[in-house]
Amino acid sequence: MTTAKLNKASEQLAFGGRQIRFTHSSEVLHCEMQFSVFLPPQAEHKAVPAVYWLSGLTCNDENFSAKAGAQRAAAELGLALIIPDTSPRGEDVPDDADGAFDFGLGAGFYVNATQKPWQKHYQMYDYILHELPALVEAELPLNEERAISGHSMGGHGALVIGLNNTEKYRSISAFSPVCNPTDCPWGRKAFSHYLGDDKSLWQAYDASILLRAKVSAPPILVDQGTADNFLEEQLKTQALEAANKESNNGAQIRYQEGYDHSYYFIATFIEEHLRFHAGNLSSKQNI
């Protein structure tokens, strides 16, 4: 199968739907990109809403599709899953000089880079917000209803993109998100390289700062494991809780006792997150 702009790399059947991996040439990222899609069985006869899933550091588009076990619930609920990669890829795409896991390839942080040599390729914010939805909604049986979710660095991306663009997403959720990246080592490293030293420019990509300033936000669900070894130094969930309380937005921020940062945690609660999103998407696509 080749559509106007998508090349199908693989396809498997799952729960009556189709799990597909596509490649395409990205005009925003200036490289060849890959992403995965789960189309539920309802998509065979009508357009369905989509949940965009943003993965975390070191991941690509296949981590969530292979490990989260999300397809069964998505098939029942009539939700498409759109699963992009975490950064641009290719021989011409710059990487961390030391090959560190928390910056460069696999670590795009869902920002629009402004600094050399990163700015040409590392425009993941615009890719997720504009290019990818326009592409899949034109080429696949999707309607224009969207929700957004993610894990860790991807949870940061989901919160930031959702809060900055409340008209485009019916709901937002996150697992173990980087909640206050302007004040954690991962965020400071990424933002200083991608965005430069002017910290005022970092604030547009900090979920805690954005939520605190929001008069009205879409429904938000956040799950955080208490046994997550990144919780205190990197994730800073308490900053998001404080912002939620100050803004009175009513986000659900839940601590799950004993759960860690892994995909076992995501697999345990992903059905609840998908049902949360389905409840906020008006065009429920039940069989």
108: exposed, middle or buried (Cβ count in 10 Å: 0-12, 13-18, 19+): buried
Measured CA to CA, the distance from residue 262 to residue 137 in angstroms comes to 31
Q: Could you tell me the end-to-end alpha-carbon distance of the chain, in angstroms, rounded to an integer? A: 26
Say how many C-beta atoms besides its own lie within 10 A of residue 252's C-beta. 12
DSSP conformation letters of 31-49: EEEEEEEEE-GGGGTS-EE
Residues 123-144: b if buried by 16+ CB within 10 A, e if exposed: bbbebbbebbbebbbeebbbee
Q: Is 130 a catalytic residue?
A: no
Structure tokens at 204: 């547009």
Assign 202 to helix, strand or coil: helix
Q: Is 85 a catalytic residue?
A: no
- Of 151, 228, 273, 277, the catalytic one is 228
- Of 121, 151, 261, 273, the catalytic one is 261
Collect all residues with Cβ–Cβ distance below 8 Å to 3 and sequence separation of at least 6: 139, 140
- Of 36, 152, 176, 208, the catalytic one is 152
Q: Is 45 a catalytic residue?
A: no
Measured CA to CA, the distance from residue 23 to residue 8 in angstroms comes to 6
Query: 210, 240 in Cβ contact below 8 A?
Result: no
**Strand 142-150 with 252-256, pairing:** unpaired
Q: Could you list the active site residues?
A: 152, 228, 261
